[in-house]
Structure 1
């Protein structure tokens, strides 16, 4: 069986940032990636996805994103950048190898892939992040709804929605962006439990991410404020303008579904064609199920990305892992350095 000092699971932004941090520590890691190419979840996002952070704040450590630093890159630009970034790493990136099981032994870890390859590693970083497993919320009547139910993970473009009545559930950046796009061909409502709060994308002429970095908020642990406050959506004015037309509109969350009908909180009932769930993702960590690293809901037991139950195991790319920006392109590098330093101290 092959022995390696560090195995990284996933070659998306989190895994690649971890490999870069490993190189700086003099470690040549093995990176196991389920897909046929590096890039993580980016190839699976909708066609028009545009970053809400400019290129200057969207690069991984050691390699800036090319082109105009003040532009807002599209999905395919990010994917090209990640694949180029991977090609410059001193890492053994093995694509087409989905890790199915990780065993924790007295001598480290044994990782087994779906194609039967086994690798023994002294330390492991799970970098499959929080954007792999689409989350379907508990909605009354969803199991009886006769229309189309689609998660944003399966949405690509508005082409097939022409003339439909569509409800987008979830008011984050992606939900708002997709709702505005769909409204060009369909009648769309954005259903949220909390109001949408528009955040000026360029206050005082500077992108909001510039202010986050300069103020220190970019690395602040703002989980409680973020979860309990209104849903913030970065906007340069175009999305507010779109919602001001009345299509799309924003409504309080509906009470239930029944057949092809939805009942709104004010008692109004209407027929809808498609329910599109912009309800986020959960970490895809099933391969750790037998290690004792996860709680009863499959969530990792960790502090700042270090497993609290399994020595030698770390995480990179989890939402709010250490800060507001932990699951973003600009935040994973900082967390990767932190996790690898701590893992080395514990060896």
Structure 2
């Protein structure tokens, strides 16, 4: 059986819920298809110690503030999961969990959304699948020969899993810094932090509010034809959250230049020296999870789909939301996704009424 809502939203994390909020306000019929078995999106799979960069009041989706918790300046991942679950329930959003979409195809004047639970035929589709399910692993010599454990950011949970071991954390972004700090502060792990370039820490007083403002200012400048402000990248790569500051100030978070290759027992550094290693944790970024859109043949440079705002240039009935600045300033953040979600819903409503 083929269902025929006006709009199908693919992905029930923060971006999908923000889209649902605005679609409901505009009176559109829609369904949200989410591969996860429970609410919370990618946040339910984060490591135990992860906290947001911003206070709860500045980490909210449209329409409902995230409540603060006593003694917790920056909400933890579990707090975010609870908030998203309550948001979904509070607005009675039509999320179907455990539904994995495998293809979106053009069908006359509609888009067909094919899943393991059936097919939907809609006048518009919002893809909000994020990046968490597609971690990037760089091509490093010897990677297949290493006999120890290799994990990606998505597999890391807690330092206790590595007690008494020698671990190399690879990656000079927020995930790499936070996981390296988490391991180093625990004291039971011999941790080495390896980065391609010297890490760039943001000033200690900068949090998610300032990052959102910087991303927004950059997008406005570009849209107005002014010179590129550099946005968040101009400030640095790593937010100095409390755990990162503590490890850095205790001289526990000193990065080494990236190793030249992996060996069966560890790593070989650029100077030819070697270190025995039990595990490597790759915190090397993510790519947008867009395989379900392959039948539309829209992919452009760097795996992105060219867009005007959130709307795909090659398929006007498709919108992309929450993948990064190329789909809306700070749209991969809780505080930032509301504005592009509102714009996408408004454009869809206009198109459907026409």
* Global fold match (TM > 0.5): yes
| 2:290 counterpart residue number | 285
Shift of 1:267: 2.8
Matched, 1:129 2:130: yes
How far apart are 1:217 and its partner, in Å? 4.2
Residues 188 and 249 in structure 1, CA contact (< 8 A), matched pair in contact too:
no
Partner of 2:111: 109
Write out aligned runs for 1:307-322 (5 A).
307-322=312-327
Correspondences of 1:1-347 after superposition (within 5 Å): 1-68=2-69, 71-115=73-117, 117-183=118-184, 184=186, 185-202=188-205, 208-212=207-211, 217-218=215-216, 220-221=218-219, 225=230, 231-236=236-241, 238-295=243-300, 298-347=303-352
CA 1:39–1:106 in structure 2 vs 1: closer, same or farther (change >3 Å)? same
Identify the residue that residue 225 of structure 2 maps to in structure 1.
none
* CA displacement at 1:56 relative to structure 2: 1.2
CA contact (8 A) 1:220 1:323 kept: no
Stretches of structure 1 that go unaligned for 5 or more consecutive residues are none
In 2: Cα distance, 1:61 partner to 1:228 partner = 26
Q: Secondary structure at the match of 2:315?
A: coil
Structure with bigger helix share is 2
Q: Distance between the aligned counterparts of 1:322 and 1:290, measured in 2?
A: 20
Decide which structure has greater strand share: 1
Q: Secondary structure at the match of 1:284?
A: coil
Partner SS state of residue 123, structure 2: strand
SS of aligned partner of 1:276 = strand
Secondary structure (helix, strand or coil) at the match of 2:95 reads strand
Q: Deviations over 1:285-312 (max 9, x none)?
A: 2111111222486532323221111120
Residues 125 and 319, structure 2, Cα contact 8 Å, conserved in 1: yes
* Cα displacement string for residues 15-64 of structure 1 (whole angstroms, at most 9, x for unaligned residues): 00000111122213200111122221111111111111111111100000
In terms of mean alpha carbon deviation, does 8-17 or 35-44 score higher? 35-44
Q: Which runs of 5+ in 2 are unaligned?
A: 223-227
Describe the shift of the 1:219–1:343 C-alpha distance in structure 2 as closer, same or farther (beyond 3 A).
Answer: farther
Distance 1:13 1:239, change over 3 A: same
* Residue deviations 1:161-196 (CA, integer Å, cap 9, x gap): 112111111122221111111122211111111222
Q: TM-score, normalised to structure 2's length?
A: 0.88
Please list the CA deviations of residues 113-134 of structure 1 after superposition, one character each: whole Å capped at 9, or x if unmatched.
113x111111000010122211
Question: CA shift at 1:88, angstroms?
Answer: 1.9
Corresponding residue SS for 2:295? coil
Distance in 2, Cα, partners of 1:187 & 1:230: 30
Q: Deviations over 1:213-261 (max 9, x none)?
A: 5x56445339993697685222256424413544343111111112123
Q: Is the 8 A contact 2:15 2:128 kept in 1?
A: yes
Aligned partners of 1:195, 1:323: CA distance in 2, in Å?
29
Distance 1:90 1:122, change over 3 A: farther
Aligned to 2:237, the other structure's residue is in SS state: strand
Q: Residues 132, 303 of structure 1: CA spacing in aligned structure 2 closer, same or farther, 3 A cutoff?
A: farther
Aligned residue for 1:290, secondary structure, equals helix
- How many residues are paired up? 341
Tell me if the contact between 2:182 and 2:243 (Cα under 8 Å) persists in the aligned partners.
no
In 2: Cα distance, 1:6 partner to 1:189 partner: 48
Distance 1:269 1:227, change over 3 A: farther
RMSD: 2.4
